[in-house]
Structure 1
């Protein structure tokens, strides 16, 4: 499900509070009612069913559990895991800004108020002495009072900006995700139960090999959560503090093509100096050592279609262009 969480402040325009921050979040709910965070763009791996697949699913898909109950579970999960942290992060930023602006306003206006208080007394003394200053003491006092009133108004405005309100998350859209294995089974091609295990083991060995390569370079790698959408490993140079973001693609000897998500391509293009594509050749022999190669700036100059969700890459050509870890 796709949820929307809005934080507003106390400023009113046409009777409505002003939106300070808005955050959208995906939440996955399984048929057992367990909610989880699928990552920033889980739909990149999804496809709409074909007419033939819809026909195959007819009568086999029990979507009753995905009704109101799933929506309530997703909203409750978002309140606990999305709304609170989002509100706290926004509140910290807003309060810091309001404090800085309030102090700057106080310093400036109180300085001007003191100036006109002093000028009022000086002009009043001249008037008592029989002088005729160009500005009379009444107008000088009025300016000091106006500045004091402006200071009060500005403080009230800033306090209203810091008066944040967290609205309950709302469900914007929802979809039922059907596993590819079910479609294969209905089509008469039951999935190979060893395929998922082989892929998981290949990925595990590939990530472990890249972690070892990073340590050999003197960096400190940290494996990211499986749902992290942009990269698998974040590695830090302890001397410079520089970060490297590494997406790991492990492949078996028979693998001809790997895929990189559109999000990963965009992240690599936005941060080309720090993003790496690690292509890891994993042997079939369980005790054999995988070979790690890096591609730096692999997507410079690449243009994707707006509807493109992933980029297919030929393994042999990647290996020809890749070099040792760096």
Structure 2
């Protein structure tokens, strides 16, 4: 259900986040996060929607019908609990955009206020028999949340470089060649750290950003300048900072264009002012699966070897 406006969303399956409150491995596979490759069967046509029209409606998580209804009746309490959780545990103020019923609980999609800017999620357990929301037991996958904050910190301290990358994709979109996900979709079913309509960041075992994260957790009001000074350039490995690009054809009837795909790869290879990191790239047609929010299809063009920008 959307918090603003409070509209129910039917929900089932997310490839990068948990499906409930039990049986979750807190350490996620980086390659899955890095590539965001969904392995679901090809969606039927009635589940497909043009990416420009997709806001997250139709998205589902397994076994969430009952808990979704219970959560809908307790939205104010859930929102309050989520805000309190992130403030106390991660010293971050968040906005709750969406609450999605899942097995034994509900997933809360949140966005940080201000910088560092990131999207992530937490879970509130729900007792289906008692129809009770256990707001005092909110939890989150620490790996995912810390990764999201670190990505946001990268976006914050390397803002100029990321602005160059954003300007490039904005220029392609202005020319009518490509498009990205809507901000509503990112907010409502995102949970992927530092995200834009065109890409999101995930971080591997990157030692260079850890002092920045530690300083932020010690003082969330620390200036971007001091956070940048804490970044250990000598320890940085471009292969541990993943910039995962997923673009869509702007033409609603077009298949992924191989010529455009190759040109974007060349441009990324040639640019010297964009962030250092490991770039993956997928070019999809114009459709997205409403249930899974996946844009990957049989015709998607996928860069087989990452572009490494040292």
* Fold similarity call, TM over 0.5: no
Structure ranking higher on relative contact order (CA contacts 8 Å, 6+ apart): 2
TM-score normalized by structure 2? 0.29
TM-score normalized by structure 1? 0.28
